[in-house]
Amino acid sequence: MELKLIINECKQQRLTAQKCLFDLFATQMFLLCKRYLKNSEVAEEVLINGFVQVYKSLQKFNYVDDASTTSWIKKIMVNECLQELRKKQSFLTVAIDIVEDKTIDNTVFEKLSLEEIYQLITQLPTGYRTVFNLFEIEGYSHKEIASNLKITEGTSKSQLSRAKQMLQDLIIKKNQVYATK
Q: Which H helix or E strand runs over 85? A: helix 66-88
Classified by CATH at the fold level, domain 3-88 comes out as Rna Polymerase Sigma Factor; Chain: A (1.10.1740)
* Model pTM above 0.75: yes
Q: What pLDDT does residue 100 have? A: 46
User: Which CATH entry fits the domain spanning 92-180: 1.10.10.10, 1.20.1250.20, 1.10.286.10, 3.40.1160.10?
Assistant: 1.10.10.10
pLDDT tens by residue, 161-176:
999 999 988 888 877 5
pLDDT tens by residue, 5-37:
999 999 999 999 999 999 999 999 999 999 999
Domain ranges of the chain: 3-88, 92-180
Q: What pLDDT does residue 156 have? A: 92
Contacts of residues 129-136 at CB distance under 8 Å and 24 or more positions apart, as own/partner, are 129/35, 129/36, 129/163, 130/36, 130/82, 130/85, 130/91, 130/159, 131/91, 131/156, 131/159, 131/160, 131/163, 132/159, 132/160, 132/163, 132/164, 132/167, 133/35, 133/36, 134/78, 135/160, 136/160
Instruction: Spell out, as residue ranges, where the chain has pLDDT lower than 70.
Output: 1, 89-111, 176-181
Q: What pLDDT does residue 38 have? A: 83
